[in-house]
Amino acid sequence: DQLLPRKRLGSGYPRAYDCILALAQLGYKTTVVGIGEHLTDKLKMAPEPKNWEYLKQNSVEMMTLERLMTMGGDDLPENPAMIEGDPSCYALRYEDILNAFCEKGICDASALSDHYENYGRTEGRRYGCGRPPKPEMIVGDPECYAARYADVRGAYCHGKVHHLPYGPGDTDCYASRNDDLKGVFCEGGTCNAKDLGTHYEEFGRQERRSIGCVQEAGCDTEDLSEHYRLHGSVEGRSFG
């Protein structure tokens, strides 16, 4: 359903058949979900029965809606046409939803369902288990993303060092790491160590800047978010 908009089959089943065939030719396996076995019969009536037999054997999994709703999370099909599963999964995908409808690990399932119907669906959010969220919609914590995966953590997080009180070397590195500060606090190659230290305490720490010549413990949150958008979401990783 990432390539083609979902459609009710109804009298439009030949078009659905064409879509399934096109997806198969691209190498995608399709799960067809219907209410009862009549869906199978309708697709069997579609044109080119030889192609339909090929699809049935190689690229299509037929599934009734009743069967889908009784399946456990680990057994869900790889690409179901519809999963309306557990509202708690909806909350876990989005930190703003989690904060609004869950407290101490307990979520208001009815309120979560209502939120999805009234707002989440039109916002393009995902509801249920078994689907990755749209990266542009998720509100998560990049540092939690790093904490989950050692390879990501190793690539985008670094060790700790604290230099207190800050010496000239530390503040010089703070300035050299941030061009906006260099223009304000440095002149002719000389930097005002006291003012740079004050800036870090009042603004830089909150802005997650690093002071000192070795970076503080932490993660590059922008790069982590970008990694999730480009790679993690495709790999089925959890963000936040």
The dihedral of CA 175, 176, 181, 187: what is its sign?
positive
Position 37 confidence tier, pLDDT thresholds 50, 70, 90 = very low
Least confident of 33-47, 127-141, 194-208: 33-47
Whether residue 128 contacts residue 116, with contact meaning beta carbons closer than 8 Å, is answered with: no
pTM: 0.26
Question: Which of 1-5, 18-22, 204-208, 212-216 reaches the highest mean pLDDT?
Answer: 204-208
Share of the chain above pLDDT 70, in %: 45
CB contact set of 141 (below 8 Å; sequence gap of 6+): 95, 239, 240
Whether residue 91 contacts residue 112, with contact meaning beta carbons closer than 8 Å, is answered with: yes
